[in-house]
Amino acid sequence: MKDQNWLKERNARSMWHPMTAPADSLMNPPTIITEAEGVRIKDVDGHSVVDAVGGLWNVNLGFSCQPVKDAITTQLNRLPYYSTFRGTTNDAVIELSEMLSEFFAPDGATRAFYTSGGSDSVETALRLSRQYHKIRGEASRTKFLSLKKGYHGTHFGGASVNGNANFRTQYEPLLPGCHHIPAPYTYRNPFNESDPAKLAQLCLQALEDEIAFQGANTIAAFIMEPILGAGGVIPPHASFMPGVAAICRKNGILLIADEVITAFGRTGSWSGSRHWGVQPDFMCTAKAITNGYFPFGAVMIGAQVAETFEQDTSGAAAIGHGYTYSGHPVGAAAAIACMNETRRLKVNENAAIRGAELHTGLLSLQEKHEVIGDVRGGHGLMLALELVADRATKKPIDKGIIAKIQEVTYQSGAMVRVSGPNIIFSPPLILASADVTTILSALDEGLSCV
């Protein structure tokens, strides 16, 4: 490793960072992380903290998962790469496909299409859903519906169904035929409705209204996160996703569950769809599938779609889509080891227990700190605080203040993520109770600087 001064001097000088302005990275140089162990990360100055971000919603098993590291090394030495395009495959990806098929069988999704990450998985599901309708002779179904506040990655398809202007405006025009309905976000919504069950019904009505307006026979799919994550962790009422699924089914619209952060236990259930008792037509996964140690993803495909593609002999079901790294053997080997560890450790159960502890702690902090407008959680280890300048008017907090809170929290022992007015928590699912205490006390310090 280069020495501390060398690294600090060149920090952000010759690279552009995602999701920030180049000038901002130069003015506020990013924290240089050099080591990690368990649920802790260490920076270039030797400061060690609990990582309440979990890498980026992906390091579910922590930073020291030896079986995954070993699987990657062994696979690199045996077969570092081979393509899965027509005509060839590899042993690891065959094995993984059988495992995923079994794991996602309760969700009704038993076929996998491999990608290099979450945005690729979303793109794949959007494209295959259009193709599904074409195979069945309904070529007019090309539009996509989604939720405001939703995050679906940054490819043009994903950005088009994205529900946050930050990821859209500078890249417009986006894909035509993408329409958004209000998210079941009780703290702020156009209906001024704070009751989660009533709000869910209003959002479902808005969905029905939009379908009637567009014409059901023009819509290919509806895409949603079972619990909205990057948009500020917005758990819907339990009636919402089943309601969406029923409306989609009634109108011949496919349901794409974007499970890039919810698959593999984060909500306390093995998938977000299972959490709500829904069987979608596609499930987009990535991130925790390899614990973040290798860029990889899988789109899981539901029975009706699988049957349509598999029974077609006309040529319409030929998949003109795929990535050089689809089914990468090293990613597949990492994913096999990850699945084994994920199930052996029952990380979903720990996510539910630790998530409840963190949620209770955040609610206590809300009693103490006026700046906390809303606390969202209650479904495993995905939680958020929405900070406000004034509770009565819900005026969002100033950017500089939230940055200061984050910095003091970091100096006090926990890395947290700031996104707009939200502080987001997505720690590894192997978190211990003592780590929850560390996160809460560091945050208490951070919030006390306001």
Ligand X SMILES: Cc1ncc(COP(=O)(O)O)c(C=O)c1O
Distance (Å, whole) CA 67 – CA 166: 38
Candidates 39, 122, 203, 372: give the one binding ligand X (CB under 6 A).
Answer: 122
Q: Look at residue 374 and give its three-state secondary structure.
A: strand
Site membership for ligand X, residue 148 (CB under 6 A): no
Looking at the DSSP bridge assignments, the partners of residue 35 are 42
**Closest CB to ligand X among residues 132, 296:** 296
User: Binder to ligand X among 50, 203, 224, 230 (CB under 6 A)?
Assistant: 230
Range 382-441, binding ligand X (CB under 6 A): none
Segment near ligand X (CB under 6 A), from 69-77, 113-121, 209-217, 403-411?
Answer: 113-121
Q: Within 10 A of 312 (CB to CB), how many other CB atoms are there?
A: 14
DSSP 234: B
* Position of minimal CB gap to ligand X: 118
Closer residue to ligand X (CB): 62 or 117: 117
Which lies closer to ligand X via its Cβ, residue 256 or residue 430? Answer: 256
Q: Choose the binding region for ligand X from 23-31, 76-84, 95-103, 257-265 (rule: CB under 6 A).
A: 257-265
- What is the DSSP annotation of 388-427? EEETTTTEEPPHHHHHHHHHHHHHTTEE-EEETTEEEE--
Name the one range near ligand X by CB under 6 A: 129-137, 223-231, 274-282, 307-315: 223-231
Token pair for residue 109? 């999704």
Cα end-to-end distance, the chain, whole Å? 37
CB of 6 to ligand X, least distance (A): 29
Residues forming a β-bridge with 147: 181
Which residue, 18 or 315, is less far from ligand X as judged by CB? 18
236 binds ligand X (CB under 6 A): no
Binding of ligand X at residue 258 (CB under 6 A)? yes
Does 247 help bind ligand X (rule: CB under 6 A)?
no
- Name, in order, each residue with C-beta under 8 angstroms of 99's C-beta and a sequence gap of 6 or more: 336, 339
Using rule CB under 6 A, residue 261 touches ligand X: yes
Instruction: Examine residue 163 and tell whether it contacts ligand X (CB under 6 A).
Output: no
Nearest approach, Cβ of residue 94 and ligand X (Å): 24
Q: Which is nearer to ligand X, 135 or 386 (CB)?
A: 386
Amino acid letter, residue 413: G
Q: In whole angstroms, what is the distance from residue 447 CA to residue 368 CA?
A: 9
| 117 interacts with ligand X by CB under 6 A | yes
3-state secondary structure 280-340: CCEEEECHHHHCCCCCCEEEEEEHHHHHHHHHCCCCCCCCCCCCCCCCCHHHHHHHHHHHH
Q: Is 225 exposed, middle or buried (0-12, 13-18, 19+ CB in 10 A)?
A: buried
Residue 152 within binding range of ligand X, rule CB under 6 A: yes
User: In Å, how far from its chain's centre is CA 9?
Assistant: 33
**Least separation, in Å, of the C-beta of 197 and ligand X?**
24
Tokens of 418: 């700031």
Q: How far is the CB of 148 from ligand X (least distance, A)?
A: 14
Q: Determine the size of the site formed for ligand X (CB under 6 A).
A: 15
Nearest approach, Cβ of 257 to ligand X (angstroms)? 10
Taking the least distance from each CB to ligand X, the nearer of 149 and 152 is: 152
How many Cβ atoms from other residues are within 10 Å of residue 234's Cβ?
Answer: 24
Tell me how far, at minimum, the Cβ of 150 lies from ligand X, in Å: 8
Cβ count near 86 (within 10 Å): 9
Among 60, 90, 119, 273, binds ligand X (CB under 6 A): 119
Beta carbon of residue 310, minimum distance to ligand X (angstroms, whole number):
27
* 8 Å CB contact between 38 and 406: no
Residue closer to ligand X, measured from CB, 122 or 145: 122
The nearer residue to ligand X, 225 or 341, going by C-beta atoms, is 225
Q: Does 260 bind ligand X (CB under 6 A)?
A: yes
Binding segment for ligand X among 147-155, 172-180, 377-385, 440-448 (CB under 6 A)? 147-155
Query: CB of residue 343 vs ligand X: minimum separation in angstroms?
Result: 23
Strand, coil or helix: 372: strand
Determine contact, residues 106/196, Cβ cutoff 8 Å. no
Collapsed DSSP state (helix, strand, coil) of residue 26: helix
List interacting residues with ligand X (CB under 6 A).
57, 117-119, 122, 151-153, 225, 229-230, 258, 260-261, 286
